Amino acid sequence: MSTSAPLDIVIAGGGTAGWMAAATFARFLGRHASITLVESDAIGTVGVGEATIPQIHNLIIGLGIDQAEFLRRTNASFKLGIEFVDWQRVGHSYIHSFGQVGRGVGLIPFRQLWLRGRGLGVADDYGSYSLNVAAAERDRFAIGEGRGGSLPDLAYAYHFDAALLAAMLRDYAEERGVRRVEGIIGHVERDGGTGDIAALMLDGERRISGNFFIDCTGFRSLLLGQTLEVPFIDWTRWLPCDTALAVPSETGARMRPYTQAMARDAGWQWRIPLQHRTGNGHVFCSAFTSVDKASALLLANLEGKALADPRPIRFTTGHRREYWSHNCVALGLAAGFMEPLESTSIHLVQSGIGRLLNVLSGDLGKLDAARSVFNRLSTIEWERIRDFLVLHYVANERVGEPFWDHCRSIELPATLVEKLALFREAGLFMREEDELFLDDSWAQVMIGQGVLPQTWSPLADNVAADEIGLFLETLARACRVKAEALPHHRQFIAGMLGEPAVQRA
């Protein structure tokens, strides 16, 4: 990095996004930058955001945080995927698991062999060929258990307590020199010439100046939205839910190693098991139900006693037209929000930080190319995730239910129309431009939602018909046998924390 302009970074906001940015910058820019974070205890954080995807490992490993320490400090549990209950139709469920489903043969993707097997009448449910699914269904979990065998290791992420994560990252950042300033940002000062942000004014008197600003002020988007007036691109027409109710409850009898997303009349309910409690929420579209009804439905579907009253959170799905304007990058809710259906928001904070670190040079006078590539790639990433989320809603068979009927009538983004057309034809898929979700994810959700291809790719005809059944059965059996041999999720966590020894079932 050039040292022509010492970086003086000011992070506005100390929720998950603010402290993730502070910790990562302290770790990777510490010698080149002074970092200040301003937050207000009086305003507080959104306080949700507890399920993640496997990319979270990049953060934990990148920061050099010990896994057991992470588990202990954030009351985390492990996550193998998400169970979607009643989404396709009431009574039907499937798991969108992380990692690989089945095993391809040479250049032939596994789903093609499965489609051919299905055509021959010798294939089981698609999820039967995923070790993650087999382990999830049995509440089993272990790290590195596939090694050396025919199956890959379990791919996993975490569920954690968002407040504890922010506290942990705060300690990490402060130990590495990040200065925390408590106060309410009342005014944002701009340079009269360039229009860049020059300083944050706290409580009308304290002035926090810097030369690069990170907006992590949550839905307020105080810097990028309110001050720099970057317009908001509204995606409500594609993702109509606009309200969430969040409530913690006592832990249930089971500690599932996966998130549950249960479809409801006008949205869906999440259930996220942590060590000390369960996080629950009901995401819904206010045009189709009321807060009172949604709240009653949520409370009626908890597995343990509610530990608080349901807390409403209003949101609009979409994003700022640019994520980086002038000398300000927005991360987290200040950049935009897509509902938590696939637990992607914390990942988007992380990928935004990574992208920024890749293009940020020390010469703040020459940021045009960096800004442009950052905005272009961020938009692509957000739009591809949006399409994936929309798929869950539109491909439903819940006929006669007003919200779900509405979802099926949504005019789809052209990019999703194309994905659906390819998949419907013969289970075809092409990954575009580094998109987050890979073909195994798309295939699991397409099939789970009832989007079944008419045929298979000619590639699958390279395997003799009489070998397909045996191939599939061997794989499914290997998943079952391997999963049965794993420890229970709760026992595995206890073992990692040095509590009573892990017992094998």
Residue 39 interacts with ligand FAD (CB under 6 A): yes or no: yes
Structure tokens at 184: 């309410």
Interacting residue with ligand FAD among 43, 410, 426, 463 (CB under 6 A) = 43
Structure tokens at 87: 């989404």
In the complex, least distance from residue 279 CB atom to ligand FAD, rounded to whole angstroms? 8
Interacting residue with ligand FAD among 345, 378, 449, 457 (CB under 6 A) = 345
Residue 146 interacts with ligand FAD (CB under 6 A): yes or no: no
Residue 51 interacts with ligand FAD (CB under 6 A): yes or no: yes
Of 32 and 180, nearer to ligand FAD (C-beta) is 180
In the complex, least distance from residue 158 CB atom to ligand FAD, rounded to whole angstroms? 10
From the list 48-56, 60-68, 97-105, 350-358, the region that binds ligand FAD by CB under 6 A is 48-56
Interface of this chain with ligand FAD, residues 300 to 339, rule: CB under 6 A: 313, 315, 332-334
- Interface size with ligand FAD, residues (CB under 6 A): 38
In the complex, least distance from residue 15 CB atom to ligand FAD, rounded to whole angstroms? 2
Interface of this chain with ligand FAD, residues 172 to 231, rule: CB under 6 A: 184-185, 216-218, 220, 222
Of 266 and 451, nearer to ligand FAD (C-beta) is 266
Q: Taking Cα atoms as reference points, which of 20, 350, 300 lies closest to residue 167? A: 20
Q: Taking Cα atoms as reference points, which of 193, 197, 203, 205 lies closest to residue 223? A: 197
In the complex, least distance from residue 338 CB atom to ligand FAD, rounded to whole angstroms? 9
In the complex, least distance from residue 162 CB atom to ligand FAD, rounded to whole angstroms? 6
Tell me the C-alpha distance between 345 and 347, whole Å.
Answer: 5
Interacting residue with ligand FAD among 9, 15, 158, 457 (CB under 6 A) = 15
In the complex, least distance from residue 373 CB atom to ligand FAD, rounded to whole angstroms? 23
Residue 353 interacts with ligand FAD (CB under 6 A): yes or no: no
Residue 44 interacts with ligand FAD (CB under 6 A): yes or no: yes
Tell me the C-alpha distance between 461 and 302, whole Å.
Answer: 48
In the complex, least distance from residue 336 CB atom to ligand FAD, rounded to whole angstroms? 10
DSSP H or E stretch at residue 95: strand 93-97
Contact 306, 247 (CB under 8 A): yes
Which residue type is seen at 139?
D
Tell me the C-alpha distance between 390 and 413, whole Å.
Answer: 9
From the list 2-10, 46-54, 139-147, 436-444, the region that binds ligand FAD by CB under 6 A is 46-54
Residue 17 interacts with ligand FAD (CB under 6 A): yes or no: yes
In the complex, least distance from residue 270 CB atom to ligand FAD, rounded to whole angstroms? 7
Interface of this chain with ligand FAD, residues 407 to 446, rule: CB under 6 A: none
Interface of this chain with ligand FAD, residues 438 to 497, rule: CB under 6 A: none
From the list 38-46, 375-383, 409-417, 476-484, the region that binds ligand FAD by CB under 6 A is 38-46
Residue 244 interacts with ligand FAD (CB under 6 A): yes or no: yes
Rg over CA atoms, the chain: 23
Residue 352 interacts with ligand FAD (CB under 6 A): yes or no: no
C-alpha atoms less than 13 angstroms from C-alpha of 379 in its C-beta half-sphere: 11
Considering 79, 305, 419, 482, which one is annotated as catalytic? 79
H helices present in 140-203, as ranges? 162-175
CA distances from 105 to 63, 114, 460, 468, 471 (A): 37, 12, 9, 11, 10
Tell me if residue 79 is catalytic. yes
Contact 148, 478 (CB under 8 A): no
Of 48 and 76, nearer to ligand FAD (C-beta) is 48
DSSP conformational letter for 430: -
DSSP H or E stretch at residue 475: helix 465-484
From the list 44-52, 226-234, 382-390, 416-424, the region that binds ligand FAD by CB under 6 A is 44-52
b or e along 73-107 (b: 16 or more beta carbons within 10 Å of the residue's beta carbon)? bbbbbbbbbbbbbbbbeeeebbbbbbbbbbbebee
Tell me the C-alpha distance between 259 and 255, whole Å.
Answer: 10
From the list 35-43, 144-152, 372-380, 475-483, the region that binds ligand FAD by CB under 6 A is 35-43
Residue 156 interacts with ligand FAD (CB under 6 A): yes or no: no
Tell me the C-alpha distance between 15 and 40, whole Å.
Answer: 10
H helices present in 319-464, as ranges? 345-359, 368-394, 402-408, 414-426, 439-448
Q: Taking Cα atoms as reference points, which of 85, 84, 65, 87 lies closest to residue 76? A: 65
Q: How far apart are the first and last CA of the chain?
A: 53
Residue 40 interacts with ligand FAD (CB under 6 A): yes or no: yes
Contact 38, 13 (CB under 8 A): yes
Q: 């869906």: which residue's tokens?
A: 268
Residue 241 interacts with ligand FAD (CB under 6 A): yes or no: no
Q: 């349901």: which residue's tokens?
A: 310
CA distances from 368 to 5, 204, 241 (A): 16, 32, 36
In the complex, least distance from residue 215 CB atom to ligand FAD, rounded to whole angstroms? 9
DSSP conformational letter for 239: S
Of 49 and 210, nearer to ligand FAD (C-beta) is 49
The catalytic residue positions are 79
Binding site for ligand FAD (CB under 6 A): 13-18, 38-40, 43-46, 48-52, 162, 184-185, 216-218, 220, 222, 244, 246, 281, 313, 315, 332-334, 340, 343, 345-346
